[in-house]
Structure 1
């Protein structure tokens, strides 16, 4: 526990890992009721299974590879608290024996992204379902990447402060409207899986990059599922 906390506090010195008894004392409106119930289970394996049941309820098909990997390699889940904000810490031991820490934010978090909040009802139901029922982002803790980022870090591609030099080098006309596009998945190196809500039928998405030619008409969940598993390895 001490080594884990030392590692976590490299990135946020105020983090606490809560005991089950402390979780019981959290105000009822601050975490989802299903989190409260699953953390009453003192057997870690059963607790993990209960959490993965939530994933399966909402994303059994779209994130089937991610769920399968977590079922095999997830060793522990705990609630983290920073300044009265709560999230779930996933401790994963990957196939190479390396420990990885992933954070799943609280689906009850408030929006910290004005552009996204204004457009939220236009975002595909399947994406809103993840954020509203499972996690407000699920990502590699140390870099806040290789996963679905939290509201505050969803990239609005139309942001005037972003410099998309790639546009000058496109081999074909741009096929998305940056003003209606958001990057929900980030690999931490300037690459995104983005949704243009004017053209997102059947979870149609775009691989958008600051450096590489875009790929259009990809399936959002197929790419997200594959890239999350790549991140685990």
Structure 2
């Protein structure tokens, strides 16, 4: 195993790099072509998967992929498979991202089923990855569905300083992307139409275009980390 990859066991636990179909772990069909591919072809194939599903929503991030993605590996962690993305940022530092295997529709957590998710959000988890994030920080990427934060379950000292509408409730705000710097990109379900919201731990929240910020923060996590 690449010595750099071996250091990741501190965060991921034991894993192996796959080059062929394993006996135990289940490799998603869309990933099976990666196993026998050359290193450059694995990069090309993964970029094509993202382009096929989210060419517009992740247009900036895809540009970063083309410039800075230097390796893709299929990992086996016991019976589960993930994709390891290795980026070389503009300062020459290596960053490692993990994309967990996509979920089947039947695997979506029941606790999230009551929310009116926008059409393009949950398909990321069933078509690409159940979470995609920087491994060391476990941030600057979309959390796995089972780790999405219901903000009302946490203490926020900033609440006492905010002048929020009486109709606003944290039970209807879910954090899906930790910035690693005290902010969460969230879906706000307080209105009839879900909206993007950045929830800060030390300042007033900001209403945002969810997909624009998701793309921007994802790209910045690699370029400016």
Q: TM-score, normalised by structure 2?
A: 0.88
Equivalent residue pairs, number: 222
Q: Displacement, 1:5?
A: 2.9
User: Structure 1: 5+ residue runs without aligned partners?
Assistant: none
Q: Secondary structure at the match of 2:114?
A: helix
**Partner residue, 2:187:** 195
Match among 49, 71, 85 for residue 54 of structure 1: 49
**Partner residue, 1:138:** 132
Contact 1:167–1:174 (8 Å) recurs in 2: no
**Partner residue, 2:98:** 103
Instruction: State the Cα deviation string for residues 10-48 of structure 1 (Å, max 9, x = none).
Output: 223312222x12xx23568x332110123332x221221
**Partner residue, 1:3:** 3
Cα distance in 2 between the residues matched to 1:106 and 1:89 = 11
Q: After superposition, where does 1:190-229 map in structure 2 within 5 Å?
A: 190-199=182-191, 201=193, 204-216=195-207, 218-229=208-219
Cα distance in 1 between the residues matched to 2:212 and 2:148 = 19
Q: Does residue 14 in structure 1 map to residue 14 in structure 2?
A: yes
Q: After superposition, where does 1:1-233 map in structure 2 within 5 Å?
A: 1-18=1-18, 20-21=19-20, 24-26=21-23, 30-41=26-37, 43-108=38-103, 114-116=110-112, 118-119=113-114, 122-159=116-153, 162-173=154-165, 176-199=168-191, 201=193, 204-216=195-207, 218-232=208-222, 233=224
Is the deviation greater in 139-148 or in 203-212?
203-212
Q: TM-score, normalised by structure 1?
A: 0.86
User: Structure 2: 5+ residue runs without aligned partners?
Assistant: none
